[in-house]
Structure 1
Amino acid sequence: MLAVLQQTLAITAPVFSMLFLGVLLKRLRWIDDAFINTASSLVFRGTMPTLLFLSIINADLSTALQPALIGYFVFATLVCFFIAWSWAIWRCPQADRGIYTQGAFRGNNGIVGLALATSMYGDYGLSVGAVLGGVVILCYNVLSAIVLAIYSPNMKADPWTLCKSIFSNPLIIGVLLAIPFAYWKIPLPHWAMVSGDYFAQMTLPLALICIGGTLSLTSLRESSGVAIGSSLMKMVWLPLLATLGAWAFGFRDADLAILFLYFASPTAAASFVMARAVNGNYQLAAAIIVITTLAAVVTTNVGLLLLQWAGWV
């Protein structure tokens, strides 16, 4: 268990370092609001779609393709999404409902979940995690686009506008463009892959610096109640429900542990980028990311300890 704790810290510490770097750069006035606006737009429209595109075309979709595992993950994701949304309707101000919902169900599986799965189960964890990651990308982005569009101050919530917001979302476009390349194994020129990789590698540092530059004690104070509620939903209640459901459906050992790690991942940095893109309460989105990333060091290890104690993994 100490090894898992060290691995979790090794993954989350660089994330926090980049967040605090954003805070420091804003204090030193090396970056300003104009930079944050431009960089967030670049991540949303360019670097993150490129990252998603490359991650899918590089994945071996035939490896560890388990319909039952994927089917349960999609089902549980939908259930968690609707639970979070229903709770947000009951407990949150209308303007914050989309941000709360996205923060409560959208996990950072590409960094935290996949890295921990690979650390614990080697090639099997990497292959299963990569296949789940492709499903995650599509589910999370479609559901987030829907709920953010409904509560966006700049958009109407009619069916046509919702469909338009989904299919015009650069993240979803990146995923959809990648599917035929991955399925038919269409090769891209070496120079295009290398250049695309250079471009995509800017995604996480830029997004985290922007989040850090947005954080302030005032914004954290103002959003603390909603942010803590969303964070508890993301890190405690929904992983508990989804993992117990997976056990009830018969998943055990490595499969159950990988599902738990994906459900228990902290909120993804992409939630901030999407919140900013629709002119939502991105300060709240930033606060949720910070709280859940910090909480992951504790909740992930406690969850794995309980699963091992019960003899399920």
Structure 2
Amino acid sequence: MALTQIFFHTLETTLPVFAMVFIGLGLRRLGWIDAPFINTASALVFRATLPTLVFFSIVEADLESAFNPVLLAYYLAATLACFALAWLWSVWRVPAESRGVFVQGAFRGNCGIVGLALAASFYGDYGLSAGGILLGLVIISYNALSVIVLTAYHPGKQTGWRSILLDILRNPLILAVLVAVPFAWADLSLPTWLHTSGNYFASLTLPLALLCIGGTLSLGALRSNSRSAVSASMLKMVTLPLLATTGAWLVGFKGQELGLMFLFFASPTAAASYVMAKALGGNDRLAANIVALTTLLASVTVTAGIFLLRASGVG
């Protein structure tokens, strides 16, 4: 396949995902959707439609290919390495009061929505099922590491590890994975009507979630941009995905597995990072800047990354 064909095929896959984000931004500016709608829709996605999507994608999957312990182990190791690199960079270049927010923004990606949407677009059922299993690890590691770095620089805002653990165990996505994997291993079949209804409900997830991301995107935050926000955004969208994906290739991953890991590492910073930064007394303005910048950058960096993987024949 010629490079131009690969490029346009890549665009055809990434543009619909990011177009939905910018449509959400436009609808919010037009006043057709508002904060109450976004809050309600986001809660519906998190508590119901996304867990349903993850459940059905795993139940319908070939677990022999979707469940890969080596991939999970590498992703965890690479996440810890990215976290450590971001922290070391912040010690050198970022004021102490902003380091916790900087580090969280530089490593914590929006894998649950953007990463999963892109994985589904590129890799279909495999992207959804393998991505759903990977999400369980992402949720646990990202939440734990975020608490560690934020409380390290805001000791007066401690949060109990017991409550964090309970939140993780009660997370609807974690529960969906825990319920779905035994179903898939046992090869249990669901009634046709339940299967069809569940897929209808799950199909609401990605368009609704992407619209909400666009609706919460604040271009006004960029007017107060800072060097720290740009630095964290470049780490999140360029440096760390490049290092982590190159490492995965050197280890021996290729094809769908390599592409899936790239998409998860290259996802823009999760909006949840803003919520956690604010709750633990961090620089919430910096957190908002990073979320906005990485979301805008993602349409370029993710497209470029997938194009390079496909053009080189490894992804």
Please tell me the TM-score bracket, short chain as reference: 0.7 to 0.9
Paired residue total: 295
Q: 1:111 aligned to 2:117?
A: yes
The one-letter amino acid of 1:44's match is: F
The one-letter amino acid of 1:302's match is: L
Sort the Cα spacing of 1:291 and 1:198 in 2 relative to 1 into closer, same or farther, 3 A. Answer: same
Contact 1:228–1:291 (8 Å) recurs in 2: no
Q: Which runs of 5+ in 2 are unaligned?
A: 279-283
2:281 is matched with: none
Sort the Cα spacing of 1:278 and 1:231 in 2 relative to 1 into closer, same or farther, 3 A. Answer: closer
Deviation, structure 1 residue 131: 6.1
Sort the Cα spacing of 1:165 and 1:65 in 2 relative to 1 into closer, same or farther, 3 A. Answer: closer
**Cα distance in structure 1, aligned partners of 2:51 and 2:275:** 14
Contact 2:49–2:204 (8 Å) recurs in 1: yes
**Cα distance in structure 1, aligned partners of 2:45 and 2:6:** 31
Sort the Cα spacing of 1:22 and 1:277 in 2 relative to 1 into closer, same or farther, 3 A. Answer: same
Q: 1:46 aligned to 2:52?
A: no
Q: Work out which of the residue numbers 145, 159, 162 in structure 2 matches 1:160.
A: 162
**Cα distance in structure 1, aligned partners of 2:114 and 2:25:** 21
2:143 is matched with: 145
Sort the Cα spacing of 1:245 and 1:17 in 2 relative to 1 into closer, same or farther, 3 A. Answer: closer
**What does the per-residue CA deviation read over 1:49-86, in whole Å, with 9 as the maximum and x for residues that have no partner?**
11111111111102476654554344334433443455
1:194 is matched with: 196
* TM-score, normalised with respect to structure 1: 0.77
Sort the Cα spacing of 1:165 and 1:62 in 2 relative to 1 into closer, same or farther, 3 A. Answer: same
Q: 1:302 aligned to 2:281?
A: no
Deviation, structure 1 residue 2: 2.2
**What does the per-residue CA deviation read over 1:77-133, in whole Å, with 9 as the maximum and x for residues that have no partner?**
443344345556764443454344313988944333454457xxxxxxx75x56642
The one-letter amino acid of 2:137's match is: C
Q: Percent identity?
A: 35
Q: Work out which of the residue numbers 253, 256, 275 in structure 1 matches 2:254.
A: 256
Contact 1:7–1:116 (8 Å) recurs in 2: no
Q: Which runs of 5+ in 1 are unaligned?
A: 119-125
**Cα distance in structure 2, aligned partners of 1:245 and 1:107:** 24
Sort the Cα spacing of 1:101 and 1:64 in 2 relative to 1 into closer, same or farther, 3 A. Answer: closer
State the Cα RMSD in Å. 3.5
2:39 is matched with: 37
Sort the Cα spacing of 1:211 and 1:117 in 2 relative to 1 into closer, same or farther, 3 A. Answer: closer
**Cα distance in structure 2, aligned partners of 1:279 and 1:31:** 26
1:121 is matched with: none
**Cα distance in structure 2, aligned partners of 1:29 and 1:176:** 39
Sort the Cα spacing of 1:114 and 1:46 in 2 relative to 1 into closer, same or farther, 3 A. Answer: closer
* TM-score, normalised with respect to structure 2: 0.77
Contact 2:133–2:177 (8 Å) recurs in 1: no
